[in-house]
Structure 1
Amino acid sequence: MAEAKGGMKSDWLIASPPSRLERIEAHFQGHAYDMHRHDSFAIGLTLNGVQSFHYRRGYRHSLPGTVLVLHPDEPHDGHAGDARGFHYRMLYIEPALIQSALSGQPLPFVAGGLCREPRLASAVQALLATLDGALDPLEESDGIAELADALAANGDARRGSPKRVPDYVAAQRVRERLDAALADGVSLEELEALAGQPRWTLSRDFRALFGTSPYRYLTQRRLALARRQIAAGIGLAEAAHAAGFADQSHMTRAFGRTYGLSPARWRRLLGTR
């Protein structure tokens, strides 16, 4: 890792204790992440510096106090906008948790990826106030509800609303089956039968409600488990096996596509600060 002035490592990352929300704080001096996409919302605050990234055919620059709202399945990267580097906090929240407060409505979309609206900023700040310990369960639930309402209030209603109302009950059955299928997998035919829908209808409804396809959802749940294992000190090969990947190479490829860095670099960053 490069050294910053005063001997402090310029690139570092800390993660909060495991919970329904993944929360991190990080600093990067230059390039941080390659282009990648994940199935969660990535919502955070720039604390210092300029946080620059490519997103939805544009090049964005987040300044201190700006809220970043990156929608599931949208490719993006990350790097410092100038020589000072950038410091930020971010939470990764499954669309299913937002859905629990939206009662089956399509996911809200905040156009442009950046927002300075006070209600949304306050909701994000409340969930990212500290990473020292796990959030109280009631505090976390209240925070998720307020975040969902703030996202809906700031969402762009013009963005591709489905022509039919998605079948939330069917999609939720499929999501629960995928959550239980990390180790052994599941066939598309089984999911069709479970939903009572043809695969194309199931895929459209699932994407509208949870932000990604059933296949990518399963892959991302496996990666989230692998990342928790790695953060706990488990070896890469063992973490890959525990999360249901065929081998370490399979996990490494998926990890890079989803998080924009390798599992080995993720592990090094956690131990840098």
Structure 2
Amino acid sequence: MPNTPPPVPPLPADSGDPASITPRNEYTVDELARVTDTTVRNVRAYQDRGLLAPPEKRGRVGVYDDTHASRLKLINHLLARGYTLANIQDLIMAVDEGHDLRSILGLETAIGGRWSRERPKKYSLIELLQMFGDKASPSALGKAVDLGLLERHGLSFVSGSPTALAAGATMAKEGIPLADLLDAVGIARPHFNAVAKALVDLVVRQLDRYDADALPPPADVPALVDAIWRVRPLAMVLVESEMNRALEEASGDYLGDRVAAIMAKKLGHPAESTTASKKKDKTKK
């Protein structure tokens, strides 16, 4: 199941019927800042950027109401999700043009949300030493941090993929030098990045039918979000299938040649490499 975005504070709606409008609370700028957990400076900065409507002027006093409070809570919510003020400005403009904010955030999550369901996990240095033994040297830990496999958090480390970390620990215990394993990750990463780019392009290509500088029409967004969530796991199936094929070929070529050479030496006659026999079979065809 896709990750569900956290609830979004609704934008205030006004029916336009004076009889249907409920009385609203009114605030000075200081009161508004206090009830929305922000600062007066932020309130005025959001007004300057057009994110917040100006207050009603009553003499020399600016009077704000619940619509301003609701908008400020929305801005705080989006900032907490990692949006910049420029992003928020674009979103609010889209809402003003008829888009539903929840649908827009659902589209953003479908495209940019995490592909893994793993939760990051914190490890103490002692726990890493228990997992990797004396192979968890300062240089190895430093390289793992450089590769992004671990992040330093004070005296602890955080792994974004505890499963991958456990797999690395098992391989290290089986005798594979940790430095070589980290080198292999560094060598393979550009290739994985290229594969990921190709697959993400497949997902994002769902947007190609629309103008590059505009959001899809509001009516199309829910179906588009559903389509992207259906494509994402299929992309992962392709990755796993191709990786299995590549590993089978690589292990057959390299490990097969090594075993064949050992057996030939024991039996006293030359062995033909797996790679050479494959080429000969292709020539016969």
Relative contact order, higher structure (CA 8 A, sep 6+)? 1
Structure with greater strand share of residues: 1
Q: Which has the higher helix share?
A: 2
TMscore range, shorter length: under 0.3
TM-score under structure 1 length normalisation: 0.22
Q: TM-score, normalising length from structure 2?
A: 0.22
